[in-house]
Amino acid sequence: MGLAVLGLPRSGTTLVSDLLTVPGRAVIVSEPDLYKKWNHNLAGRVQRLARTVGINVPAEAPDPATWQGHYGRYFRSELAPRFAGLDLWGIKYVDFSDWRPLFRDYPPEKLILCVRDLRDLVLSGIDRICRMQMVFRSSGHRRDEAWVFSALAYNAWELMSLRERPHLALRYEDLAGNPATLARIADYAGLERLDPTRHNLAAAGWHRRWEVEKHGDAISAASVDRIDREPVGPIRALAERLWQLLPEYGDAFGYPVSDRSKQLSDHMFRQRGARNPIAFLDTERWDWKGPPGIEPCFARRRARVIAARNIRAPARVLDLGGGSRALAGLLPAGSTHILADNMPRTEDIRVADIYSGSLPATDDIDLIVALDVLEYVEDLTGFLAALRATGKQALVSYHANDDSAGTDRAALGWRNGLDRASLAAAFTEARFDMDVRWAFDGTQSLFRLRPR
């Protein structure tokens, strides 16, 4: 193929692919999943895209049984030869797990690597899960903060290894209204012009129309430097932690590099050596325990599971600082999940300055849940007073000092540190009775707080 477009999720790869898709001249196929099981929606999408650029293929994808259920065989036999008749064709991926077989089967003549500030990638990834409600209620994949964190760390390592090949690096930030960047793309691809029509999105049925409505046919400056607008809390701390773990990425692509004294050198996700420290399939397992030691996003995942088991339906649950809203997929049937956060990631979020002790309205709530929240509150006494003032029961989690000895709490973004006795005393002073399961996963505890 003439061109491969690879980049981290939320780094502008789809926009680049659409700009390079010019009917009659060129096509970049977005995420064809050539090495996975046949997906009917995906097959139909690629079929529609092929017809859009002038390839004479049936409107409907064939029966997968004809190809033993392997979409890659159909693509290689029927579509790739037709795409090769264009001036330029290629494939775009944000999933780096299959780049080696892809380059073996379809060696690209040219390579574009799309990059973005790692901190903004985390924020954008969590917003996408929240907005598209990518919460799976089966025992299979679940999308949450831990998945965003792990997948980005895995893919960033693979992307860094691809830098050894000749490539054009495209920074998301430079795509925001910079005509010179668009000219560089066209020149590198050998095209006289780019096409702003969103052909890949149209072929997919505009399931991400909200994104187009937000940005139009380009990347808006509103999506640049998002970390500067993200308030204190677990989501900001997560974004900064990934940034601290991968200073090589910033060095390579011209992004700010964190203070090297705060780069969590003992964290499993820290880039070192010649092998990716993360196994891709681990990132896809919702029950993966994550790296050794305390990693807050995986602790939050475990807390959600045990908290949901302690909620009786029907219940209207206010999820304080709920981030990705992944708790919604774990609640018992008949429950209502209401997300509260300190950023309006979607229109239905109840926004409040939670970590400063300001809570949203709770008149219509039966139960409050605050998981991976207390650690980020500087005035814990004030927060508990506000929580008690709601008159509602609450399920909260916390890493007591007794159970997390040796943890650099500041490096994780935590703003306080209490032992078991001090924490229990704080709950009592706030006029809560409590039921507790200390260190349910070895390091964090779950409390049911009942107002007196």
242-279, pLDDT tens digit by residue?
999 999 999 999 999 887 666 677 888 886 777 898 99
Q: What percent of the chain has pLDDT over 90?
A: 80
**What's residue 136's pLDDT?**
52
Residue range 276-294, pLDDT digits in tens: 989 998 988 888 889 998 9
**What's residue 207's pLDDT?**
62
**What's residue 244's pLDDT?**
92
Element (H, E) at 380: helix 380-389
Amino acid at 361: A
Low-confidence winner among 25-34, 140-149, 168-177, 329-338 (lowest mean pLDDT): 140-149
**What's residue 87's pLDDT?**
97
Q: What spatial distance separates the first Cα and last Cα of the chain, rounded to whole Å?
A: 69
Is pLDDT above 70 for 210?
no
Q: Could you give the CA distance from residue 61 to residue 48 in angstroms, rounded to a whole number?
A: 9
Residue in the block written with tokens 């009942």 = 450
**What's residue 340's pLDDT?**
97
Q: Considering the chain, tell me which residue range(s) the CATH 3.40.50.150 domain(s) occupy.
A: 296-451
Q: Which of 259, 271, 178, 165 is nearest to 218 (CA)?
A: 178
SS3 for 220?
coil
Phi, psi of 88 (to 5 degrees): -150, 135
Could you tell me which residue, 215 or 284, shows the higher pLDDT?
Answer: 284
Q: Is 192 exposed, middle or buried (0-12, 13-18, 19+ CB in 10 A)?
A: exposed
CATH 3.40.50 holds for 3-116+156-220: yes
Pairing verdict, β 393-398 and 445-451: antiparallel
Is pLDDT above 60 for 143?
yes
Dihedral sign (CA 389, 395, 397, 401): positive
Longest dimension (CA), the chain: 75
pLDDT band of 114, cuts 50, 70, 90: very high
CB-based burial, 203-220: b 16+ in 10 Å, e otherwise? bbeeebeebeeebeeebe
Q: What percent of the chain has pLDDT over 70?
A: 93
Amino acid at 379: D
CATH architecture of structural domain 296-451: 3-Layer(aba) Sandwich (3.40)
**What's residue 275's pLDDT?**
86
Could you tell me which residue, 134 or 411, shows the higher pLDDT?
Answer: 411
The structure's pTM equals 0.93
Q: Strand 316-320's sheet: what is its strand order? A: 350-351, 336-341, 316-320, 367-370, 393-398, 445-451, 432-437
Q: Which residues pair with 415 in a beta bridge?
A: none
CA 212 to centroid of chain Cα atoms: 19
Q: Which of 79, 50, 74, 51 is nearest to 63 (CA)?
A: 74
Q: Which residues contact 332 (CB under 8 A, 6 or more apart)?
A: 308, 311, 312, 313, 315
Amino acid at 28: I
Pairing verdict, β 26-30 and 316-320: unpaired
Average pLDDT over all residues of the chain: 92
Helices and strands of the chain, counted as H and E runs: 17, 12
**What's residue 264's pLDDT?**
77
Q: Which of 389, 383, 439 is nearest to 416 (CA)?
A: 383
Is pLDDT above 60 for 137?
no
pLDDT band of 209, cuts 50, 70, 90: low
Q: Is 134 exposed, middle or buried (0-12, 13-18, 19+ CB in 10 A)?
A: middle
Pairing verdict, β 367-370 and 316-320: parallel
**What's residue 211's pLDDT?**
57
**What's residue 212's pLDDT?**
56
pLDDT band of 443, cuts 50, 70, 90: very high
SS3 for 318?
strand
**Can you state the percent helix, strand and coil of the chain, rounding each to 5?**
40, 15, 45
